[in-house]
Chains A and B, each alone.
Chain A
Amino acid sequence: MNNRLKVLTNGLIKENPVLVLMIGLCPLLAVSSSAINALGMGIAASFVLVGSNIVVSAIRRIVPDQIRIPIFIIVISTFTTIIDLTMAAYFPALYGALGVFVPLIVVNCIILGRAEAFAYRNGVLDSLLDGLGMGLGFTLVITLIGGIREVIGNGTIFGSRSFISEPALIMILPPGAFITIGMLMALMKWAEAKGGRR
């Protein structure tokens, strides 16, 4: 049981797909101009990640080694199509805001990376937990960045007013995304260096 818990928490901190492994950057920067968009993107990507992890690990014994990558891609694009059509039908406003980035989940390196590195080698339950952990890690970071940008750039959080009276518009424009993630990375590096010295 302890081992299972480790699989789940691995993606949250130690192997956080975004901050540590530096993959999946495109959606992270593009849709994080508000917290709600970022949360929507995080949930959509997590759904695809969990689904494809389960299926890949369930069929791993019958997939020939040489053609596994095309098969993974088919599985991933199936789940992406499901989430694409579901969001277009039930959340049209969010779908409009995320735009081309919903179909682009299919080329998100996190998902193919987990299918190849984890789900293809482990059982269904472990892969489910791994997908959940990685998805949560991604959702957490993208929502954090979206939240920071929305508070500083627009003076709101999840749409309701916060305490900042004169927001700095630059943070919700494209440069703000680069600045926020650069700051977060510098902060992590600083924390690491400080921890190492102790």
Chain B
Amino acid sequence: MNNTGLFGIFIAALLINNILLIRFIALCSFFGVSSSMESSVGMSMAVIFVMTISSAVTWVLYNFILLPLHLEFLRIASFILVIASLVQLEELFMKKNLPELYRALGIYLPLITTNCAILAVAFLNVDYKYSFIQAIVYSLGVSCGYTLAIILFSGIRENLETAPVPDVLRGYPIAFFTAALMSLAFLGFKGLFGL
């Protein structure tokens, strides 16, 4: 895993191991916000923003503080606290200095804390033993993959609203079948560029 190039890491995270459709992380938000296109765009922008920053911070925390002090067993508790407070900090900073961006992401930022994708990427960076640059590229790939999947899915779901669906399948069941077909399509990327 460690000797693939940066482009390989990006594509693998974006398509082959798509975080929503293949790895099944952050599904609560996948089904929660995808009922309208607007909210899925807002959520995915917030994910790209927060995930990149938080994986940089947790990488530094793990490699420069936890590893030298042999405190690896604290990673679960420390990562989640750092991410939760980081989100608060980013919210305050944006409110003060980037009011336009804050208005656009507004309500999606606090929701991010419970989005398991952020925490998962922090753990995966540790598991794969990525270098700093690799970790950043990986988290960019994952969050772009999240964006791609959730925007495609919400487009389909908006059309499903008016489609003639059998009564028992209305709502969540048909959404799950749609996700199954999308996941099948993403499986087709396996083996792309020999990854």
Contacts and interface: CB of A to CB of B under 8 A. Distances in A.
A141 to B, nearest CB: 14
A80 B28 CA distance: 20
Interface in A149-180: 170, 173-179
Give the interface centre of B26, B75, B183 by most chain A CB atoms within 10 Å.
B183
Interface residues of A, number: 38
Give the interface centre of A23, A25, A84, A107 by most chain B CB atoms within 10 Å.
A107
Contacts of B181: 175
Contact of A189 (B22, B26, B73, B168): B168
Contacts, number: 105
Give the interface centre of A29, A70, A103, A193 by most chain B CB atoms within 10 Å.
A103
A30 B174 contact: no
Interface in B133-181: 167-170, 172-177, 179-181
B109 interface: no
Interface residues of B, number: 40
B124 A100 contact: yes
Given A26-B116, A74-B77, 6 more contacts: A80-B76, A100-B123, A100-B127, A103-B119, A175-B183, A189-B173
20 contacts: A26-B26, A74-B77, A77-B76, A77-B77, A78-B77, A81-B77, A100-B123, A100-B124, A106-B76, A107-B116, A173-B187, A174-B21, A175-B183, A178-B176, A178-B177, A182-B177, A185-B172, A185-B173, A189-B173, A190-B168
